[in-house]
Structure 1
Amino acid sequence: RGSVGRLPVALVRCYHFECNAQDAMASWRTMDVKETMKKNIAKKYRPYPAYRDSGVEWIGEIPEGWEIVRSKALFSHRNQKATSGEEQLTASQVYGVIPQSLFMEKEGRRVVQVITGQDILKHVEAGDFVISMRSFQGGIELSEYTGSISSAYVVLKPSQNVVQQYYSYLLKSTQYIQALQSTSNLVRDGQALRFQNFSQVDLPVVPIEDQQVIASFLDYETAKIDTLLAKYQRLLDLLEEKRSALISRAVTKGLDSNVPMKDSRVGWLGEIPEGWEITKLKYLAPLQSGYAFKSELFQNDGIPIIKMSNLKRGSLDFTEATFIPADKCNRDFALNDGDILLGMSGSLGETGSVGNYAVVNRKDTPCQLNQRVGRFRLTSALFPGFLLYFISSDSFSKPIMLDSIGTAQFNISPEYIGTISLGLPNQSEQRKVVSYLNRETAKIDALVAKVERAVELLKEYRIALISAAVTGKIDLREESA
């Protein structure tokens, strides 16, 4: 029970064999990953025979035969009103420019559609590019559909010298996005990119044959990378499921599968070991609500108050901390090393703030307990580690979810938390369960860290490969021969 080896064999093999490339990347962990990626790509693919300075910082040297022009020489501004009945499109950094109906299907949520006054929409032709509200962060999107789009967006009509698939990679490359970001401080203040911003970034003019070769190469190579990334993500999902099941079973069934069991008479608990006691949290660890500090006390330094946003599934994160003056602290809400905290308001689900938890570390103190965050006051009958694993298990989250069906935002009270039942073993067995889970979850967490590192390196490699290809740092013409 609890063995990582029970994960599906195919995905374990994916990790051990298909990811052998990550072994070669291991030495990069102490080096500049991006620079090392560039060097390794340069070793694998030959450069063009001759280069010259492009005069554009973000592009660097370009092959002989490539040119640099103003971007509006390659793309014109299509400022054309949509006609009645055109399909409404959505610009997405994930899917590109696609029909709103398809976007809603993929995302499982609705978007605002224009029913009346469709004359405010802009016309888009298949093969156009669209500058959206998110282009400042993720680049410019290619549309493979004809339709209409928000008037807040900028539609770019490509010239005959443009192979759309090549420029779809170029206009979403990291270097291009950084160049686009440098065109205006107004964008950083939340204003949209305009055609004028686009026009300020010069672009390469690449021979048509080269564009086609580069686009085909990147289609093939990025598809392979994306397939492997999807397998990695599936492995991460399975590891998380394994971890969750391991914890839930240990805190509800114990470690000995041969002990007699009894009906807990609590739906989500099912059977529990015969020697365990059914009780409620309020008798073992009543929850104390935080204090409603007045917002006028908030400042940029002083003593931090712990809000919902500071709870990060086990630990505290002070990236977005709020502080109060030391003389305004309340001793009844002063937090101590080892305190276990619980989020009591907000969204639901695995990443929601309701049920989110954290343990206060000595380095976190002094700090104060703010409203909508609770602190468990443990009695001697409950070992802290056992409570921590219990509140991270399905046996704790299920009753909360069952009580909140149909509610996107939810508040839970200390009184409600107190009504949640659990099976309680004696202190000795609680400690054994905690020791076992510490050991087994550490194994899973170590594997998760390795997979996440592999994902990070693959994503960096993908970025570096695209950059090298679209800026002419590697000659791919023989690759397609």
Structure 2
Amino acid sequence: MIARLNPYPSHQSSGLPWVGDVPDHWDLVPNRGLVRKRKVLVGQRHSDYRLLSLTKQGVIVRDISTGKGKFSSDIGSSQEVRKGDLVFCFFDVPETPRTVGLSSHDGMITGAYTVLEMVEASKAQYFELFYRAMDDRKLLSPLYSGLRNTIPLERFMGAKTPQPPPEEMAAIVRFLNYANARLEKAIRAKQNVVLLLNEQKDAIIHRAVTRGFDVDVPLKPSGVDWLGNIPQHWKVSRIKYLLREVDERSTTGAEPLLSMRMHHGLVLFSEHFSRPPQAASLVGFKIVRPGQFVVNRMQAGNGLIFASRLTGLVSPDYAVLDPIGDANVEFLGELFRSRTVRAKFRAESKGLGTGTSGFLRLYSDRMGGIHVALPPRDEQSAIMARLDSELFGLNSTISRLEREIELLREYRTRLVADVVTGKLDVREVAARLPEESMPEEAAVGDDEFIEGDESDDVEAAA
């Protein structure tokens, strides 16, 4: 299907650096002729509205019972959103996971966002597809203003958007809905395999760091209710006798910034993100050195605790700890990320904030008081060596699938951009497409919130 796409025969210059040339029969229309701003505050009527959120998957209904993300303290200042409205995030554009969404719901959203309605509703899907394509590749930088990389509304309204003829616009929307549904299905299938493989991997690791590999080893009561029985020759110790918190701060901010990621540990921020860090200055950030542990206090229960192999800076809100006990650092890391210890970390965390907007934080004294069971040092090293061998195949398969997912996403981004800007002609192909239902709900983990994002890529500059 996609292989049969051809370029248009002739083009004209759009005059827009983020678009380039467009087919010469397309119009270029200022946005003020396509959309208009709506700002209707909900005020005391907020209880009559569903709370909406702009996510990577568009505008969704927010489940406030989960307490995920941050909530406005003045919910009455939220603004009304109707089905068919466009929601834009015009501030911190390079850092924002999603800048635009077409709402399929009635509800309300925080007043920080800009709500626009289409002059002609039939053009809404193409308009969203176009600006999603520009956003995915962060091409709108010529419109940015100020330190927060904001797009002023008047500047956006004065910018032009390519407009194909109505039938052609409908063909573009039809083709991209079809192609995106199939690409999303392929991505989701691979994500589900990765999820299953990671569950298998976690089960192997959990067994290794809580029982070892000897299935016949005799057990004894640990003396700690939540630990249960442990191998007879293992010893129980409090974490405070294994790790000691340190607090070394950068005076220059010149050290490299590190980022903590769920499946990668501590990595160089610059190697994993093209955007700049959110913090204006890294002075006062905590210094971490190889062999030291870093704990995201508010995500410890989700396993965000890793030993560093790098020297660099992490958020001042993270805990940095020196190993002081007779323990293998890599073994400790896997133990702390095992499901039983993660559950204990959650149980020992204390809430901050009020109501559903509160966060759980694992304070150092409560972490230090937690008991863990450890084999002798030489057995810890032997377990880690065995794990490396047993997990090699799983890790290789997971890495390959993750790379395939990344390539599919890159291809989808390029395809959408090429179609909505007239680089590829889809009219003939779109006319032959079968009727296609919209894609199923996104896989778990694909709808990270823009406000208070808690994705697995938790970074030091957050």
Give the TM-score category using the shorter length: 0.7 to 0.9
* In structure 1, C-alpha distance between the alignment counterparts of 2:115 and 2:362, rounded to whole Å: 41
2:395 to 437, 440, 445: 445
Q: Does 1:343 align with 2:295?
A: yes
Q: Does 1:299 align with 2:244?
A: no
| Structure 2: 5+ residue stretches without partners | 271-276, 352-358, 433-462
* In structure 2, C-alpha distance between the alignment counterparts of 1:282 and 1:114, rounded to whole Å: 41
**2:26 matched residue in structure 1:** 66
The percent identity for this pair of structures is 24
Residue 113 of structure 1: how far off its partner (Å): 7.7
Alpha carbons of structure 1 residues 175 and 263: separation in structure 2 relative to 1, 3 Å = closer
**1:155 matched residue in structure 2:** 115
**2:346 matched residue in structure 1:** 401
CA displacement 1:131-176 (0-9 Å, x = unmatched):
3345834333323345665555433332338522122211211369
Structure with the largest fraction of helix: 1
Structure 1 counterpart of 2:236, one-letter code? T
Q: Does 1:126 align with 2:79?
A: no
Alpha carbons of structure 1 residues 345 and 90: separation in structure 2 relative to 1, 3 Å = closer
> Do the aligned partners of 2:348 and 2:362 also contact (CA within 8 Å) in 1?
no
* In structure 2, C-alpha distance between the alignment counterparts of 1:158 and 1:371, rounded to whole Å: 45
Residue 463 of structure 1: how far off its partner (Å): 0.6
* In structure 2, C-alpha distance between the alignment counterparts of 1:288 and 1:221, rounded to whole Å: 53
**1:90 matched residue in structure 2:** 52
Aligned-partner SS, 1:48: coil
Residue 411 of structure 1: how far off its partner (Å): 0.7
2:11 to 51, 58, 72: 51
Structure 2 counterpart of 1:448, one-letter code? I
Give the aligned length. 407
Q: Which structure is higher in RCO with an 8 Å CA cutoff and minimum separation 6?
A: 2
C-alpha RMSD of the superposition: 4.3
* In structure 2, C-alpha distance between the alignment counterparts of 1:397 and 1:463, rounded to whole Å: 36
**1:203 matched residue in structure 2:** 161
2:335 to 370, 382, 390: 390
CA displacement 1:373-419 (0-9 Å, x = unmatched):
2211233xx45554444334335434333333657122123x85365
TM-score (normalizing by structure 2): 0.72
> Do the aligned partners of 2:258 and 2:313 also contact (CA within 8 Å) in 1?
no
* In structure 1, C-alpha distance between the alignment counterparts of 2:167 and 2:363, rounded to whole Å: 60
**1:461 matched residue in structure 2:** 411
User: What is the 5 A alignment of 1:333-372?
Assistant: 339-343=291-295, 345-350=297-302, 352=304, 356-360=305-309, 364=311, 372=319
User: What is the 5 A alignment of 1:78-227?
Assistant: 78=38, 85=45, 87=49, 90-97=52-59, 102-104=61-63, 109=68, 111-112=71-72, 124-133=81-90, 136=93, 137=96, 138-146=98-106, 151-160=111-120, 162-174=122-134, 178-186=138-146, 189-190=147-148, 192-227=150-185
TM-score (normalizing by structure 1): 0.69
Residue 461 of structure 1: how far off its partner (Å): 0.9
Larger radius of gyration: 1
Structure 2 counterpart of 1:412, one-letter code? S
Aligned-partner SS, 1:127: coil
Aligned-partner SS, 2:428: coil
CA displacement 1:289-320 (0-9 Å, x = unmatched):
31466xxx72234xx69999799975465768
